Amino acid sequence: MKGREAHLWLRKTRDHQLRERMGMERRLVAIFSTDVQGYSRLMGEDEAATVRTITAYRELMATLIPQHRGRVVDAPGDNLLAEFASVVEAVQCAVAIQRELKVRNAELPQQRRMEFRIGINLGDVVVEGERIYGDGVNIAARLESLAEAGGLCISGMVYDQVKTKLALGYEDLGAQVVKNIAEPVRVYRVLVEPGVAAPAVRQLYRRAARLWRSRVLAVVGLLCLLGVGAIVWQYFFRPLPPAPVVPAASVPALPLPDKPSIAVLPFVNMSNDPEQEYFSDGMTEDLITDLSKHTGLFVIARNSVFTYKGKAVKPEQVSRELGVHYVLEGSVRKVGDRVRITAQLVEATTGYHRWAERYDRELKDIFAVQEEITRKIVAALAVQLTVGEQARLGSKYTHNLEAYDAYLRGGEYLARYTQETNRQARQMFEHAIALDPTFALAYTLLGMTYFGEWTLQWSQDPQTLERAFALAQQAVALDDSLPAAHRVLGLVYQWKKQPAQAMAALERAIALDPNDADGYATLAHIMNFTGKSQEALRLVQKAMRLNPHYPNSVLATLGIAYTLTGQYEEAIATFKQALTRNADYLLAHIFLAALYSGAGRPEQSQAEAAAVLRLNPQFSLEVWRQTLPVQDPAELERFLAFLRQAGLP
């Protein structure tokens, strides 16, 4: 051995020995990462059945992976990580797994099927004992998240190794920007059926992009209006239940805002009567509303904080999951004409109690207590109030306790989202107004009952929408500083095809309540079809930060904004994300059917159309033609053509 070669050999040997002593080494491997799409939903619906299925499916993987010279590295939760010496065998193993799981899933009911997503990357990894680490592993995990249910995505490096060696087709998804990876990753979707020729997908995508520019964008205003009744209803006061809270250990902490940030947790009902729950919830919502009006505060939306209702959570967990510095928690005990309220403001990152107080008062003093709590919090956080904010801080919605109680009960009915409870809510708000004809907030929510009745087609009488309009106008006339009244007015203007007036009303609502997540989301929805999609993208992202546990309707608005700004793959990914939260989310299936159709992807558009018909067998394009509030008939017909092309009747 020559001197230089001997020197290099000796240095490599020493490096290897050093790595061995450290318990670490590096090697180039094919990394296989997989998880279950919709696993949380499956566990929530039937834990025992889900555990049985995932155990059986893991046993299958544990058998097939060694047969392809692979090794299971780790299998936490619904995830599985494996390494292979050969990328060819890694892909062959993944295809074999997906084909076998497809057969097994066919034997299960549709809602119980367990579909895995697989990502494969070729990369250099750090080995420590039985574990592997590094960007190579992270990229495999990101590829997995890009795969469809029952599908497989591979990196460009894997594709270069297997493209001529396996009888598979490959779809070029282009360079994808993925989380925590500095450079974009070239991604391919594997077409797992044998004998499928690899298409010239990049050229197809370019042609599809041109088609989208000339065809899809011409009708995207209609897409925005699709399902508008359900969307705007969810945006208002009490949205449908959001996605479940993900365990803190699996969620990266949200960054803290550059101003004092607070989450008001649902106050605990300490009364012996569970029927008093509406009162403690109403107290919580009033405090959120009062604090939200201050520009110097960042206040998390009601929709997100109520995911913690009835759960024992620590302030640091709330801080991590919602991205806030402070947490307000407390309890309410209401007995007869007396009320006891406790409240404490906790610095969540340290556990330090900034302020705490207990109030034993007569029920008639409830408004004074709410005002005092708000003032104490503002003072404790050293927030500077504007003149207008100082004036609004002491304002009361009503001085009539019976009217206030009826309003709270009406709000509880409204939250249940059914035709019958909508009727009961209306009766309560009408009773509140009879007791106090100047109660602007009761007029606002009474208007919302008519708006919901019209948009959800519980009533076909055009006067229903006009009644909602008149009540919102009356609420604004009674109290022009009430954000909710302007928001309802904006929603009605939107449905009346008056976008300029709708935007003006919603901008006024946000000016009065700068933490109004629902207002930002609704305004973004309107801007999507008024030529301001870039601004809509910014607004909906702000709404998502204020409401981290946002409902799927917000994802729908985000998907539309991505489409309008030319970010087509992001749009599809967003609607697919909505389906991971709720596989039966009809609106997402309809959007995807239209988008895939416009993109020239018939198989996927037809699959989405099939999902639409499964969820709504009575779906009819003729019904949509008659009911959608679209100003341009040509746009309507182009949109219906996309859905017809996808296979909808």
Segment 403-413 mean pLDDT: 85
Nearest to 308 by CA among 236, 244, 351, 374: 244
- Type of residue found at 638: R
Hunting for tokens 């520009």 — which residue is that? 295
CATH of the domain at 635: 1.25.40.10
Both 50 and 143 in one domain: the answer is yes
Q: How many domains does the chain have?
A: 3
pLDDT at 279: 81
Hunting for tokens 């092309």 — which residue is that? 645
Torsion-angle region of 323 (φ positive above 0: left; ψ -120 to 50: alpha; else: beta) = left
* CB of 456 closer than 8 Å to CB of 229: yes
Residue 61 in this model has a pLDDT that exceeds 60: yes
Domain boundary among 332, 360, 395: 395
Both 389 and 284 in one domain: the answer is yes
Summary mean pLDDT of the chain: 79
Residues in the chain: 649
Which helix (H) or strand (E) segment is 466 a member of?
helix 462-478
Measured distance CA(219)–CA(360) in Å, rounded? 59
Measured distance CA(413)–CA(423) in Å, rounded? 9
**Parallel, antiparallel, or unpaired for β 116-128 and 352-362?**
unpaired
Residue 344 lies in a domain: yes
- What would the pLDDT profile of 483-529 be if each residue is shown by its tens digit? 889 989 998 988 887 888 999 999 999 998 898 888 899 899 888 77
Segment 347-353 mean pLDDT: 82
Both 167 and 229 in one domain: the answer is no
Both 220 and 194 in one domain: the answer is no
pLDDT confidence bin for 198, thresholds 50/70/90: very low
Both 189 and 229 in one domain: the answer is no
Both 188 and 327 in one domain: the answer is no
Residue 507 lies in a domain: no
Residue 210 in this model has a pLDDT that exceeds 70: no
Residue 421 lies in a domain: no
**Parallel, antiparallel, or unpaired for β 326-335 and 268-269?**
parallel
Residue 2 lies in a domain: no
Residue 298: strand pairing partners? 261
Both 231 and 301 in one domain: the answer is no
- Type of residue found at 410: G
- What would the pLDDT profile of 614-626 be if each residue is shown by its tens digit? 888 888 888 766 6
Measured distance CA(534)–CA(207) in Å, rounded? 24
Per DSSP, the three-state class of 114 is: coil
Both 192 and 220 in one domain: the answer is no
Q: What is the signed CA dihedral for 246, 249, 254, 256, rounded to 10 degrees?
A: 130
Nearest to 161 by CA among 190, 122, 126: 122
Segment 141-152 mean pLDDT: 88
Q: Which of 205-219, 249-263, 351-365, 500-514 has the lowest mean pLDDT?
A: 205-219
Residue 8 in this model has a pLDDT that exceeds 80: no
CATH of the domain at 39: 3.30.70.1230
Residue 376 lies in a domain: yes
3-state DSSP of 186-204: EEEEEECCCCCCCCCHHHH
CATH of the domain at 383: 3.40.50.10610
Both 183 and 115 in one domain: the answer is yes
Measured distance CA(303)–CA(242) in Å, rounded? 7
Residue 270 in this model has a pLDDT that exceeds 90: no
Residue 295 lies in a domain: yes
Measured distance CA(499)–CA(492) in Å, rounded? 10
- What would the pLDDT profile of 276-295 be if each residue is shown by its tens digit? 787 888 888 888 888 888 78
Both 32 and 69 in one domain: the answer is yes
pLDDT at 393: 52
Q: Which residues, including other chains, have CB under 8 Å from residue 192's CB and lie 6 or more apart? A: 95, 98, 99, 151, 152, 168
Residue 311 lies in a domain: yes
- What would the pLDDT profile of 73-129 be if each residue is shown by its tens digit? 988 878 899 999 899 999 999 999 998 898 888 888 888 889 999 999 998 888 887
Both 29 and 139 in one domain: the answer is yes
pLDDT confidence bin for 39, thresholds 50/70/90: confident
Nearest to 81 by CA among 140, 40, 135, 39: 140
For 635, the domain range is: 202-235+533-649
Q: How much helix, strand and coil, in percent to the nearest 5, is found in the chain?
A: 60, 15, 25
Residue 474 lies in a domain: no
Domain boundary among 355, 378, 395: 395
- What would the pLDDT profile of 457-470 be if each residue is shown by its tens digit? 788 788 999 999 99
- Type of residue found at 187: V
Both 613 and 648 in one domain: the answer is yes
Residue 247 in this model has a pLDDT that exceeds 60: no
